[in-house]
Amino acid sequence: MSSFCPAHQFPRAHIDPIDDDRAQLIIASVIDLPLRPEIVAIVVDHQRRGVAIINVDAVLGSDGVHAVAEMVIELGRQQPATGGLILASVRPGGGDELDDVERWLDLDHDLSAAGIELLEWYVIGTSISRPRALLGEPARWTG
């Protein structure tokens, strides 16, 4: 039996639901240190249990999240169990950009149209921001 809090244990695929704490734990465990440009996508089922982690280490620029979301939308067409998406964009030395709010809205629209909920998008640079929060939208973890 572990002495760690369950929220700080690595979730088991297809078994443990992923919340904000667990999403951050997964992301912290898969991103490279020192930070370099990359995008991480955590795909969850309708009960928010992890089904896939996608790590794109190619430099795609700030709009690369759209390409990753398209991959997940295609996955959702093939695997109807795809229920949600958690994204992380790593921007070393940078952070959120003015266009991130528009990117959030576009991603949310495209994913929703495919029946996939955009749960969160973390932008990791000199700090961690969430474009959803920049819009004043509440967290989606409880829905």
Rounded to two decimals, the pTM is: 0.90
Contact status, residue 120 vs residue 86, Cβ threshold 8 Å: yes
Q: Is the pLDDT of residue 4 over 50?
A: no
Alpha carbon distance 61, 51 (integer Å) = 26
Contact status, residue 22 vs residue 57, Cβ threshold 8 Å: no
Where in the chain are the domains? 12-30+46-118
Mean pLDDT, all residues of the chain: 89
Alpha carbon distance 59, 92 (integer Å) = 12
pLDDT of the residue at 59: 66
Contact status, residue 67 vs residue 101, Cβ threshold 8 Å: no
Alpha carbon distance 140, 143 (integer Å) = 6
Using one digit for the tens of pLDDT, what is the confidence trace for 83-104? 999 999 999 988 778 899 999 9
pLDDT of the residue at 27: 95
Helices (H), 1-143: 20-30, 64-78, 100-113, 131-134
Contact status, residue 116 vs residue 84, Cβ threshold 8 Å: yes
Neighbour count for residue 16 (Cβ, 10 Å): 16
pLDDT of the residue at 1: 32
Phi, psi of 97 (to 5 degrees): -125, 155
